Structure 1
Amino acid sequence: MPLLPRRFERLKAVLDCRMGDLTLLLEQVDKPHNLSAILRSCDAVGVLEAHAVCLQGRLPTFNSTAQGSQKWVPLQLETDVNVAIHRLKQRGFRLYGTHLGAEAVDYRCCDFTGPTAFVLGAEKWGLSAAAAAQIDQAVIIPMRGMVQSLNVSVATATLLFEALRQRQAAGRVPTAGEGVAPERYQRLLFEWAYPQVAAWCRSQGRPYPALSEAGEIAEELPRTVRLRC
């Protein structure tokens, strides 16, 4: 079925608001419900992608809580937390880790308007010593009850929406695609609009066709491929 113009405009509108300089690094957060809820929050806020270091031999799985958000917020799998942290720092991210310690500060006292990566661990044991030693700032979400921590998905949502609030106040929220590099923007737009054709192009080792202003593929493709549109 051809892509409807209103569907294409919806995809563009969402991608226009994505923020490539706001991300997550999850360390051994493996419960499907938590991962699903976290990616749903990422999608709601406008996070472009997230990262995860899973337990050895385990791949992330999702449930209905995600509402399909895993299709719109890719979860990049990392094999080692040290390597993942190094890569994020090389890209200019400042890392804020949820870690209870003497140097931890109230998350509302931090500036999340620049390139920001939130680092969160599993609820039972939190961040590993290796991860905690490498974050730029430990943060806490103050509790007023008997329980001294939030579910990891709730903590993630709290941090992400605070980052969004700060960026809105500072006029730093993208509205026209400026939060994603142009080449990546075009690649993602095609993959969102025509996932099956994109998969065929990758299997053939060929670039994606150009799209018209209305979202139509501006190139003649084999009939078997056109049927996937």
Structure 2
Amino acid sequence: MQKFISSFQNQAVKRILQLQEKSRARKKEHVFVVEGIREINLAIKGGYQVTELYYTSDLFPAEKAENLLSLISNPVDVTELSSEVYQKIAYRGSTEGVLAIVGSRELSLQNLTFKTKNPLILVAEAPEKPGNIGALLRTADAAAVDAVLIANPRTDMFNPNIIRSSVGCIFTNKIATGSTSEIIAFLKERKIAIFGAALQASVPYHSVDFTGGSAIVVGTEATGLSCEWLENTTQNIIIPMEGAIDSMNVSVAAGILIFEAKRQRR
């Protein structure tokens, strides 16, 4: 029999709030919260396991819940929430009335494989803002890069802000995390050229050859790339700036560089 929750004091409600707010809670249970029909669909298509589904029939009719459940092969615990309870736990302002508890993954370099001998990889060093990480994942999805590597991550990749700002592209990209040293070693072992977006000893980005295995590495807007990256790049590249300021948003810069690589590869 399907459960119905109308109390804010229910333990399931408190648990969902903990999973949304606390990285420690997500890591302890190896699960995270996904809100919205598109994001849940992308998680399912990406092979993530949905274990629990919560919805309010005021916004998400029961037949829609049935349609969603038909896409999931494993057993799912389904709970209907009152509209008031759902609004309390909804992370997004304009919510669709459905959220899921999803099993997380080890985003390990060791698990990463490529379908091509000349992969195109986006590397971001120590990104802090979930919104920037989400935007980088959207850019990577748009260009269909072979992988996104996050060096020295400062935030949990299953943070609800990353899922929201990436509009579910965390599920459409191959993603791995590791230290700067680990990622440099990974790239060098596979003879992948490392192109660092940096001012020092750089050439215009359109003058380098991205047709071989290539990693485009971007740092934070505040500090740029660390010395360890700068000492290990094949070539540093720069986007010539013609206005009054000397930098741009990291996801915008990454998009320019990635799509130049895609243009060359056509």
TM-score by length of 1: 0.62
Instruction: Tell me which of 103, 115, 130 is aligned to 2:228.
Output: 130
Query: 1:144–1:96: structure 2 CA closer, same or farther, 3 Å change rule?
Result: same
Given that 1:33 and 1:63 are in contact with CA atoms closer than 8 Å, whether structure 2 keeps it comes out as no
In the alignment, the residues of structure 2 paired with residue 93 and residue 123 of structure 1 have an alpha-carbon distance, to the nearest angstrom, of 25
Which 4+ runs in 1 deviate beyond 6 A? none
C-alpha displacement of 1:167? 0.7
The residue aligned with 1:87 is 186
How far apart in 2 are the matches of 1:63 and 1:123? 22
On the 8 A contact 1:99/1:127 being kept in 2, the answer is: yes
Residue of structure 2 equivalent to 1:98 = 197
What is the rounded CA distance, in whole Å, between the counterparts of 2:228 and 2:128 in structure 1? 19
Tell me the distance in 2 between the aligned counterparts of 1:88 and 1:68: 27
Q: Are 1:30 and 1:54, in contact at CA under 8 Å, matched by a contact in 2?
A: no
Q: Separation in 2 of the partners of 1:73 and 1:118?
A: 16
Match of 2:143 among 41, 45, 49: 45
SS state of the match for residue 95, structure 1?
strand
* Matched pairs, number: 151
Higher Cα Rg, which structure: 2
Structure 1 alignment gaps of length 5 or more: 4-17, 169-229
Deviation at 1:115, TM superposition (A): 0.4
Calculate percent identity across the aligned residue pairs: 34
Q: Which position in structure 2 is the counterpart of 1:217?
A: none
Which gives a bigger RCO, structure 1 or 2 (Cα 8 Å, sep 6+)? Answer: 1
After superposition, give the CA deviation of every residue in 1:83-140 in whole Å (9 maximum; x if it has no partner). 2111111112100001111x20000101111100011111100001111111110000
Q: Which amino acid aligns with 2:184?
A: I
Task: Compute the displacement of 1:82 (Å).
Answer: 1.5
Can you give the 5+ residue segments of structure 2 that lack an aligned partner in the other structure?
1-69, 73-114
Residue number among 103, 119, 137 corresponding to 2:217 in the alignment: 119
- The correspondence for 1:65, drawn from 165, 168, 179, is 165
- The answer to whether the 8 A contact 1:107-1:139 is kept is yes
User: 2:238 maps to what in 1?
Assistant: 140
| SS of 1:158 mapped into structure 2 | helix
